[in-house]
Amino acid sequence: MAHKSIDPQQIISYQFPLTTFTYTERDVALYALGVGACGSDAVDEKELKYVYHKDGQGFIKVLPTFAALFITGATDSFAKLPGLQFDPNLLLHGQQYIEMHKPFPSSACIENRMEVAGLHDKGKATILEVETKSYEKKSGELLCMNRTTVYLRGAGGFSKSSPPYSYRKYPANQVLTVKIPSSQPFAVQEDCTHQSQALLYRLSGDYNPLHSDPTVAGVAGFSRPILHGLCTLGFAVRAIIKRLCNGEPTMVKSIFGRFLLHVYPGETLITEMWLEGSRVLFQTKVRERNKAVLSGYVVLGQLTSSL
């Protein structure tokens, strides 16, 4: 039976309002600390530049996953999509794809343009993909693109024909499949998260109480508040930059992450990396439970700077 609360044509043709996001060097440094920069060594020569003007550098460097902050609150706007009704408590953030176009300035005003990039009926759930292109307002230059994939559980079954409804506005081969090799990883990075990691990361703008309130976490089925998935992604990509890019964040061209399982603050993250041409496949596990929590890849290259 078709799900009456979903009108696919209305959803994919929706024009989101423009949004802006302004940040300063303080936001950049706070984010870097939130994803573990200098967490095990306060004078780490490959990471101090994310939080401090080292050796006379003119501005601090920005991690590419800082892009994820530009879409803070985006899931709230999904609830306003006409033709789409779902229970926000049943929304799962499944995947994140980030495409870098220019290195980020250390402070800027960003203009975000959003559009629905995919809509798929999976029977018991609907998969919604939303693209956000972020432009520096002053120059008009495109800095990055985020594609957020969410699973709306209980909101599927709206197709009126067979096969089930599926819409995608980007090339199917743009995001490649991730098959973790059985061989030994090329490099491994271990990071200890702090008990307060989620409380620190939330100061970058994601105030979902699932990551801070024990009662809310309990209702959701967790023994205590969990770490933000995008925080775990930040840890993994920072580890890859440190191990394989000699600490140079502008070598990252694109990032894909699939969220597999929750992380509790205080757990140890082990990120394993395999080289596959210009692509780094990675898998992040938690040592304490020996569970994979994140998998994906990072494509390396060299961004040309306009700074």
Q: pLDDT tens digits, residue range 274-304?
A: 999 999 999 999 999 999 999 999 999 966 5
Active-site residue, selected from the candidate residues 229, 234, 257, 296: 229
What integer pLDDT is reported at residue 3 of this predicted model? 53
Q: pLDDT tens digits, residue range 84-103?
A: 888 888 889 999 999 999 99
Closest CA to 78 of 60, 65, 68, 90: 90
Active-site residue, selected from the candidate residues 110, 226, 255, 270: 226
Yes or no: say if 157 and 121 are a contact pair by the CB < 8 Å rule: yes
Give the mean model confidence (pLDDT) for residues 116-126: 95
Closest CA to 83 of 149, 162, 4: 4
Active-site residue, selected from the candidate residues 211, 228, 241, 262: 211
Active-site residue, selected from the candidate residues 98, 127, 206, 255: 206
Cis geometry, peptide bond prior to residue 163 (ω within 30 degrees of 0): yes
Instruction: Tell me which H or E stretch contains 252.
Output: strand 252-259
Annotated active-site residue 206? The verdict is: yes
Tokens of 167: 């819409």
As a whole number of angstroms, the longest Cα–Cα distance in the chain is 65
pLDDT value at 187 more than 80: yes
Give the mean model confidence (pLDDT) for residues 102-123: 96
Q: Tell me the DSSP string of 131-198.
A: EEEEEETTT--EEEEEEEEEEEET-----SSSSPPEEESS-TTSS------SSPPSEEEEEEPPTTHH
CA distance 212 to 197: 10
Annotated active-site residue 211? The verdict is: yes
Angle, helices 25-34/229-244, rounded to nearest 10 degrees: 90
Q: pLDDT tens digits, residue range 204-237?
A: 999 999 999 999 999 989 999 999 999 999 999 9
Cα Rg, the chain, nearest whole Å: 19
136 phi/psi in degrees, rounded to 5:
-75, 125
Q: Tell me the DSSP string of 99-118.
A: EESSPPPSSEEEEEEEEEEE
